[in-house]
Amino acid sequence: MPTGSAGRHVAICTAAAHSHIGPLLGMVTELVRRGVRVSYATTPPFASLVEAAGATSVPLRSTLPTDPADWPTDVRRLPLLYLADARATLPALESHFARDRPDLVLTEDPAGAGRMLAAKLGIPAMQVWTYLASRGHWSLAEPGTANANPCAAEFMASLDAFLAEAGVRSGAREHLDSALADGLVLIPRSFQPDGEAFGEEFAFVGPALAPPLPHDAQWSPPPGSGPVALVALGSIDHGHPEFFAMVAEAFTGLPWHVVMAVGDRVDVRALAPLPPNVEVHAWVPQTAVLEHASLAIHHGGMSTTMESLHHGVPSLVVPRLPEQAGNARRVRELGLGTALPFRSVTADALRRTVLRLHAHEGVRRRVKAMREEIRRAGGRVAAADAVEKRLTPA
C-alpha cells in the first residue's frame, strides 16, 4: 500500500469530462498541499489533468459515449446509461481500492460506482455537487407521480438489483436518500434555487478554481482593443460552425475584441474570412481570457457559468440541453445576464442583446455582488476544509 498519513486518503470518482473534473481541481490542489493523498479515478485522456493537480490517477474504462452524436436523444434515459456505466466500472474500482483503501470517497452520482464502492467497502462517502444541489434524486422523482421520469421505475428496479449484486443491504430509495442528505456544493448558495432551505449539512463553497500556475497559458487583449467577449460552447457539444460564423457576423464593425473557442469539431479555416476584431482558436485558456472580459457568450454549462461569475463577467447564455436551460433561467432570474434560444438566435438579435447587456448598470452591479459572495464562500480553501472535516473522526 502506498505511504501516506493515516486517515488522510481521499478517492474521487466523477464523470470523465472537463466540466466535471475541472471544477474539482482547485480543491484537489489544496488537499494535496495540506498533505492529503488524493486518488482520482478517471479515463486515460484525463489522467494528466488530475496528476497535474497533484492527484494519483486511477485508470478507469468508461462505457459512456465520447461523441455527443452517440448519446440518447431522450435525456430521460440518461440515468439508466449512467447506471450501466457504474455497473461496468465498479469491478475495476473495487480491485484497486480494496488494496489501497481510502478514508473517504467523493462522488457526484448518488447511484454511481464511487458511491457503490463506498457502500460495499464500508467507507464514508461525500456527495460533491458540481451542478445544482438536490435533496431528492433530480432526474427521477417518485415512480408513478406526476413529475416522475417515465424511466423511474426501471431505474429503481435496476438500482435495487445492482445493490443486491454488490452485497449492499439498503434498497434503492434508502441508498439515494442517504447519498443526497448532505454534501459539498461548488456554487454560491444564492445561485441555488431555494438555497436558504438547505441546512448547514450542505457546504456551499462556490467555484473551487485552481490557483494559477507559472506554466499556465496566458492571454492578453491586443493593445488599444475595446471590451472583450469570450465565446465558447463547452468541451463536448461544440461542433456548430454556423453558430460561430453568426457570432463573427454579429460583432463585425463593433469596437469589441472577440475570442472564440470553437473546440476540436470545427475547422477554423472554414470560418474565414473573419473580421479583424475576432480571433478564433480550438481552445483558449478560458479563465485567463475571463480576467479581461466584459461579457461571456456560452452554452450555460455550470463550469463556464461559475467561472464567469467568479471573474465578475455577465453571461449571455445560448443553451442547448435541459440543464443548460436551467442555468440560463437562473442567470436571468438573478439578473446576472440574459439568454437567447440557440436554435433561433440570429446575428442581429445577438448584436442587439450584446449592446443592451453591456450597457445595463443593474446587471454589472448584481454580477459584482455575486463575485463578492463567491469570494466570501471560500472556494477551494473552504472545499478542502469541508473534506478535512469529514476525514476527522467525530
For residue 332, what is the domain's CATH number?
3.40.50.2000
Under 8 Å between Cβ of 42 and 50: yes
Q: Per residue in 112-159, pLDDT tens?
A: 999 999 999 999 999 999 999 988 775 666 677 777 788 889 999 999
- Segments forming the whole domain that contains residue 335: 228-376
Evaluate whether residue 1 is within a structural domain: no
First to last CA, the chain: 26
CA torsion through residues 246, 248, 249, 255, sign:
positive
Evaluate whether residue 219 is within a structural domain: no
Evaluate whether residue 59 is within a structural domain: yes
Q: How many domains does the chain have?
A: 2
**Cross-sheet strand order for the sheet of 56-59:** 56-59, 37-42, 9-13, 104-107, 125-129, 183-185, 202-204
Largest CA distance in the chain: 66
Evaluate whether residue 221 is within a structural domain: no
Question: Do 278 and 190 reside in the same domain of the chain?
Answer: no
331: left (phi over 0), alpha (psi -120 to 50) or beta: alpha
Question: Do 109 and 248 reside in the same domain of the chain?
Answer: no
pLDDT of residue 139: 63
Question: Do 383 and 360 reside in the same domain of the chain?
Answer: no
Question: Do 46 and 194 reside in the same domain of the chain?
Answer: yes
Give CA–CA dist 390/394, Å, rounded.
Answer: 9
Evaluate whether residue 2 is within a structural domain: no
Angle at alpha carbon of residue 48, lines to 46 and 52, rounded to 5°: 120
Evaluate whether residue 217 is within a structural domain: no
Q: Per residue in 371-393, pLDDT tens?
A: 999 999 999 999 999 999 999 86
Under 8 Å between Cβ of 219 and 288: yes
Query: How far is residue 154 CA from its own chain's centroid?
Result: 27
Question: Do 143 and 271 reside in the same domain of the chain?
Answer: no
Question: Do 122 and 28 reside in the same domain of the chain?
Answer: yes
Question: β-strands 125-129, 337-339: how paired?
Answer: unpaired
pLDDT of residue 265: 77
Evaluate whether residue 251 is within a structural domain: yes
Question: Do 167 and 239 reside in the same domain of the chain?
Answer: no
Evaluate whether residue 235 is within a structural domain: yes
- In this prediction, the residues of the chain whose per-residue pLDDT falls under 70 are 1-6, 138-142, 214, 236, 238-239, 393-394
**To the nearest whole number, what is the mean pLDDT of the chain?**
91
Question: Do 16 and 162 reside in the same domain of the chain?
Answer: yes
Question: Do 61 and 141 reside in the same domain of the chain?
Answer: yes
Question: Do 153 and 285 reside in the same domain of the chain?
Answer: no
Question: Do 248 and 148 reside in the same domain of the chain?
Answer: no
Question: β-strands 278-281, 257-261: how paired?
Answer: parallel
Question: Do 237 and 370 reside in the same domain of the chain?
Answer: yes
